[in-house]
Amino acid sequence: MDDSVDSSAQSDDPAADSPTVSCRRCGREWDLEAELNAVGNQAFEQFALDHRRHTGHFPDAVETWRVVCRHCPEEAERLARDAARRWAETHAKHTRHDLEIKHASGEGVTLVEADADS
């Protein structure tokens, strides 16, 4: 008996083409069709944020921007570079601390310096 699946066969099930996200740490995979219908193009980002909020970690293939203060233990992790920079600039403005912004890929570091005149 042949249990192989014909990969050339097209599925008539529209849910088979819906985006999925997986998490090795949780050992699970989720279909994002409902999220896509509810929030549109931001479905993956919203799911990733919700997953982090409830589990303490992001699902697979999510690379974040990390902000680390050079003077205190404050840090932040954001999905978008602009959001990470905004957090860093706000922290620098209120504390006069310098911060580093790094992408999870490890490529380069951006320094956000505190304005000494503020």
The domain spans of the chain are 18-55, 65-112
Task: Identify the burial level of 112 via C-beta atoms within 10 angstroms of its C-beta, where 0-12 means exposed, 13-18 middle and 19 or more buried.
Answer: buried
pTM of the model: 0.68
pLDDT for residue 72: 96
Q: β-strand 65-69 against 99-103: which pairing, if any?
A: antiparallel
pLDDT in tens, the chain (118 residues): 444 334 344 445 545 577 899 999 999 999 999 888 888 888 888 899 899 999 999 999 898 999 999 999 999 989 999 999 999 999 999 999 999 999 988 878 999 999 866 5
Rounded to whole angstroms, the Cα distance separating 84 from 49 reads 14
State the number of CA atoms in the 13 A half-sphere of 1 facing the CB: 1
